[in-house]
Amino acid sequence: MASREFSKQNDNSPRERREVVRGMFNRIAPTYDLLNRLLSLGIDRRWRKKTIDLMQIDGHSVVLDLACGTGDLAQEAARRSAMAIFAVDPSNEMLLRARTKLKYAMSRTYFVESFGEEIPLQSGLCSHAMIAFGIRNVQERPRAFAELFRILKPGGVLAVLEFTPMDKKLVSFLFNLYFQKILPWIGGMISRDRQAYEYLPESVARFVTSADLRREAEQAGFQHVQTKVFALGVATALIMKHPD
């Protein structure tokens, strides 16, 4: 139902669209990690690790993981000995699984149920902020980028990892074939929510380019540092900086 629900909500308010997406992720949370590993063959983990490496997180870092899901990216930050991690997500079911995953992390971890447009953290609190495969689910990206800018201290680093449109036609064709045909079938069979896994390719297909994302972040005040392309353009990591 998620795909149809989302299509019906396109003309409705951002708040209503956010609730549809929140409900979808609450439903698929129990099988989310299993399907991520199965459908990506673990490649998504390598992308997250490389993105964390680019951020240079260390024992002095205070990290915001926005749209944290089940906590994969936060877990990578904890492995870099981050001093504190704020894991923020609108889905309570996802946060429950993130709590379990980070239960024994040495980093201080805090879990916050919130949308990206309204993050209940104080200004200048964090040295690093990150969002992996979640920015396309944010209904009002300018507001979210403004919030990320507010929460980061001067000199802070932002990383945005996301699926992005590809220039290479053959790779794009194979990727879309997999995303639009195979992924919904496997995802639907295991999660028993086929429409949720139809939403994923639809959300990627209609999403903006990495250049567009960069411009949106820059409009919020960020400075571009680096763009890292993965798997011939299947995914892209943008590294941005809050000006000193």
The enclosing domain of 236 has a CATH number of: 3.40.50.150
Q: What pTM did the predictor assign?
A: 0.87
Residues of each annotated binding site:
70, 89
With bands split at pLDDT 50, 70 and 90, how would you rate the model's confidence at 233? Answer: confident
Judge whether 182 lies within some domain: no
Judge whether 124 lies within some domain: yes
Mean pLDDT within 35-42: 69
For residue range 127-149, list pLDDT tens digits in order. Answer: 999 999 999 999 999 999 999 99
Angle between helices 194-205 and 14-40 (to 10 degrees): 100
Judge whether 189 lies within some domain: no
pLDDT for the residue numbered 184: 64
Judge whether 155 lies within some domain: yes
Judge whether 50 lies within some domain: yes
Give me the residues paired with residue 63 across strands: 85, 128
Mean pLDDT within 215-231: 96
pLDDT above 80 for 68: yes
Mean pLDDT of the chain: 86
- Pairing of β 126-132 and β 223-230: unpaired
Mean pLDDT within 139-168: 91
pLDDT above 90 for 174: no
Question: What Rg, from alpha-carbon coordinates, does the chain have?
Answer: 17
Residues of each annotated binding site for S-adenosyl-L-methionine:
70, 89
Domain boundaries, position 230: 40-166+207-241
pLDDT for the residue numbered 44: 85
Judge whether 10 lies within some domain: no
Judge whether 200 lies within some domain: no
Mean pLDDT within 209-235: 93
How many domains would you assign to the chain? 1
Mean pLDDT within 79-92: 97
Judge whether 126 lies within some domain: yes
